[in-house]
Amino acid sequence: MTTEALLTLKGVSKKYGNRDVLTDVSLTINKGDCLILRGGNGSGKSTMLRIVSGLIPINSGERLLKHSGLVIGYTPDRLSKLRMTSTEYLTHMGRISGIPKNNLKNRIRELHDFFSLEQNNTLKMSHFSKGMLQKTNLMQAMIKTPDVLVLDEPFSGLDKESTGHLLSSLKRIISQGTSIVAAVHDPLLAGQLESRTYWIRQGRVLMDSVDNSSDHSIAFFELEGSVDQETLDRLSGLFSDVTWKTFDNGYLLFTIMKKDYRDFLIEFIHNGGEINSLSRKELNE
């Protein structure tokens, strides 16, 4: 490992029962890196993040840290609406992390200021908006200033204003020297931050050949609809850059880059897909 390599995975594999989730994965996270993980549902993104965070064991390979005191902050894809204030919750998490009482109080105040979240002593998290919960989720991961911040679908369910604030916060976090590893569904984070994108396909991690940091305008489409599993598998094989997520009602939301738009629509409709809505979106740096 080089002096700048904070964390390295070498030939890592992970199984759940007889199912291979990740196979022979190698990845290096350097100081100040921003790495984006993309892939379809069930591709292994969340498993990869948990391995990076040290939350689950690996079946083979090596997970190497620069030093034993490396601090890794982890945010799950959602935070429960607890009957606690953000201060109470962060105090609890800080005590688990062993932060001294006086230092913890100051740190909690700093984090509320950093994320522009009011330190309300009566408002419970059970009444928080999605954006407020995501800020608290990030704060718990940063209660001890992390060397590496691991994010699982940080933009999921956020409105435009909350998304913009989160992007701004992540840029500031990176500028302070923290490395970020994030799994995302759509191209938003990769398009707005200077980053390297990796795809997880069939259990292997492949680096994207496209340099997202040079893009000034990203056009893509979002299609909400339904299709049978056989066609979904076919579309996944034909259009490797198209990603999707499943709603609770069973409908799918596809994110389609402009280059794939026409061919994807033809295949989708020809194979019996039903469209509920279709919209074009463009991101400008």
Place of tokens 């069973």: 250
- The residue type at 187: P
Query: pLDDT (tens digit, 9 = 90+) per residue, 207-266?
Result: 875 544 444 456 788 999 999 999 998 998 888 778 888 888 889 999 888 888 899 999
Q: Count the alpha carbons within 13 Å of 46 in the hemisphere toward its beta carbon.
A: 11
What is the average pLDDT score of the chain? 88
The boundaries of every CATH 3.30.70.1150 domain in the chain are: 216-284
* Least confident window among 6-10, 19-23, 181-185, 238-242: 238-242
Residue 198 has pLDDT above 70, yes or no: yes
- pLDDT score recorded for residue 17: 92
CATH topology of domain 5-213: Rossmann fold (3.40.50)
30: three-class secondary structure by DSSP: strand
- Going by pLDDT thresholds of 50, 70 and 90, the confidence category of residue 285 is very low
- pLDDT score recorded for residue 163: 83
Residue 107 has pLDDT above 70, yes or no: yes
Residue 284 has pLDDT above 60, yes or no: no
Partners of residue 183 on adjacent β-strands: 37, 152
Which has the higher per-residue pLDDT, 166 or 127?
A: 127
CATH of domain 216-284: 3.30.70.1150
Query: pLDDT (tens digit, 9 = 90+) per residue, 38-55?
Result: 887 788 999 999 999 999
Q: For the chain, count helices (H), then strands (E).
A: 8, 13
- Mean pLDDT, rounded, for 78-82: 91
The CA–CA distances, whole Å, from 75 to 79, 135, 158 equal 8, 10, 15
- Going by pLDDT thresholds of 50, 70 and 90, the confidence category of residue 12 is very high
Rg (CA), the chain: 20
- pLDDT score recorded for residue 258: 82
The boundaries of every CATH 3.40.50.300 domain in the chain are: 5-213
Query: pLDDT (tens digit, 9 = 90+) per residue, 138-184?
Result: 999 999 999 999 999 888 777 778 888 888 898 899 999 999 999 98
DSSP structure string for 209-239: SS-GGG-SEEEEEEEEEE--HHHHHHHHHH-
Residue 194 has pLDDT above 60, yes or no: yes
- Report which DSSP code applies to 187: S
The contacts of residue 193 (CB under 8 Å, 6+ apart) are 34, 167, 170, 171, 174, 180
Are residues 131 and 162 in contact, defined by beta-carbon separation less than 8 angstroms? yes
Q: In the numeric block, which tokens belong to residue 1?
A: 């490992």
Instruction: Using the CB atoms, write b or e for 82-115: b if 16+ within 10 Å.
Output: beebbbebbbebbeeeebeeeebeebbeebbebb
Are residues 251 and 276 in contact, defined by beta-carbon separation less than 8 angstroms? yes
Give the start-end residues of each E strand in 39-132: 60-65, 72-75
Are residues 26 and 208 in contact, defined by beta-carbon separation less than 8 angstroms? no
Percent over 90 (pLDDT), the chain? 60
Residue 62 has pLDDT above 90, yes or no: yes
Residue 275 has pLDDT above 80, yes or no: yes
- pLDDT score recorded for residue 159: 79
Q: In the numeric block, which tokens belong to residue 83?
A: 């009957």
Nearest to 117 by CA among 90, 144, 86: 86
Q: In the numeric block, which tokens belong to residue 200?
A: 């997880």
- pLDDT score recorded for residue 157: 75
